[in-house]
Structure 1
Amino acid sequence: MGQKCKILFLCTGNSCRSQMAEGWARHLKGDIIEAHSAGVDPKGLNPLAVKVMREAGVDISGHTSKHVDQVMSVPFDYVVTVCGHADATCPPFSGKTQVVHHGFDDPPQLAAHTRNEEDALVHYRRVRDEIKAYIETLPERLHCP
């Protein structure tokens, strides 16, 4: 088998959506995708993202929130921006790296006005499942080498 497709999932805070995407890619496609995640303004790992991923059998508790500058030396095939702000502020990558956008709703923002954690988790679970469905289409959707 050839080289793995190197994909960076980029979000604003690298706390939730990009972390979920990295977790799913490693869990579902680790044999063909080398997954990374980072943020343009890292905020730390979101505990509710960790919780809903654990419910689905994926442990992201060891992930750390990284700034995109920390991974700029990796020769990515693709950068997938998973939020609008990251798409608008994505730094230029060198070489063959292609940037594509596939946005997902922001669970912390959706959950901001919920009454309790269980109500908040509904939003996290929906986005988690949407991200999983997207990851299942990779790397074919991106036409990785």
Structure 2
Amino acid sequence: MYQSSLMYSRAVPEEPPLFVRLLADPLRWRLARELAVSDRRVRELVAAVGQPQNLVSYHLRQLRAARVVTARRSSADGRDSYYHLDLARCAEAWAEAGTALHPGLAGTSGPASHRKGQRLRVLFLCTGNSGRSPLAEALLRHRARDRVEVASAGSHPKPLRPEAVRAAAEYGIVLEHEPTHLDSVRRKRFDWVISLCDKVRELRPDFPGEPRTIHWSLPDPARELDETGDAWPAFRRTARELDTRIRFLPFALTADAEEELS
């Protein structure tokens, strides 16, 4: 369990944990609910909650100060930022709040499961379909087994990156993928379409059947070189973030699948 300001202070047991106090505010709750679905820009959050930008920005600063919300510069427009709700951190803080209320509530929270027998079709999109989206496809297939049909594509496909293959191998996955162009899947039906980079989000077409669309603003790991010019650390971080986000998809896992992977 991490040590942070989100933990309950035993010195002042009458005071609710910070996480509870933060989300008790109706506007912060609405912002968190929006960000739980998809990464958003400030103007999108303003439109979603119907409040002035300065007020939305104030509450976002409160959530960022508590480190449950993070921000990244958009790779499509560097003047913009995407905000992201850290669901793993929220899950820990939620569990801590339950424990602070009563020890018997410890460990009762976790990611939502899909209904047994439900088989959904999921598409991951990025620009090159060479790193982020093949990794996401492989990680979701690995976690969900046969519970989903999953595919990936890119607006400008490039050969599969060896760093992506290496990152997948750390999860016991043999990643074999033929880069696919977005045009080849745009007439297929999906239940969920998840964009993984800001540029492809701007190009994302309408798909048949009105699938649920969400956005995860992830930088291109191929462009994030370390001091030696190596992209491997960035690919490893990207795989770790994708796996965390996939664990909190509301349809991906059942308790049986979680037990198999633990």
Q: Give TM-score, length-normalised by structure 1.
A: 0.86
Identity of counterpart residues, as a percentage?
36
Q: Which residue of 1 aligns with 2:196?
A: 82
1:115 aligns with 2:244: no
In structure 1, what is the Cα distance between the partners aligned to 2:229 and 2:214?
35
1:128 aligns with 2:239: yes
1:9 aligns with 2:120: no
Matches within 5 A, 1:15-94: 15-60=130-175, 62-94=176-208
User: Residue 11 of structure 1 contacts residue 82 of structure 1 at CA under 8 Å; is this kept in 2?
Assistant: yes
Letter in 2 for 1:110: E
The gaps in structure 2 that reach 5 residues or longer are 1-115, 253-262
* CA shift digits 1:67-117 (9 cap, x unpaired): 012122331001100000011111111223122111212110102x64154
In structure 2, what is the Cα distance between the partners aligned to 1:39 and 1:136?
23
**Cα deviation, residue 14, structure 1:** 0.3
- Say which SS state the counterpart of residue 99 (structure 1) adopts: strand
Greater RCO (Cα-Cα under 8 Å, separation 6 or more): 1
- Say which SS state the counterpart of residue 236 (structure 2) adopts: helix
Structure 1: 4+ residue segments shifted above 3 A:
none
The gaps in structure 1 that reach 5 residues or longer are none
In structure 1, what is the Cα distance between the partners aligned to 2:216 and 2:129?
15
In structure 1, what is the Cα distance between the partners aligned to 2:122 and 2:184?
15
In structure 1, what is the Cα distance between the partners aligned to 2:218 and 2:233?
15
Q: Which residue of 2 aligns with 1:105?
A: 219
In structure 2, what is the Cα distance between the partners aligned to 1:4 and 1:73?
19
User: Residue 129 of structure 2 contacts residue 157 of structure 2 at CA under 8 Å; is this kept in 1?
Assistant: yes
* CA shift digits 1:12-55 (9 cap, x unpaired): 11000001000001101123221100001111211111111112
User: Residue 83 of structure 1 contacts residue 102 of structure 1 at CA under 8 Å; is this kept in 2?
Assistant: yes
Q: Give TM-score, length-normalised by structure 2.
A: 0.49
- Say which SS state the counterpart of residue 151 (structure 2) adopts: strand
User: Residue 10 of structure 1 contacts residue 82 of structure 1 at CA under 8 Å; is this kept in 2?
Assistant: yes
**Cα deviation, residue 6, structure 1:** 0.6
Computed over aligned residues only, the root mean square deviation of the Cα atoms, in angstroms, reads 1.7
User: Residue 33 of structure 1 contacts residue 139 of structure 1 at CA under 8 Å; is this kept in 2?
Assistant: no
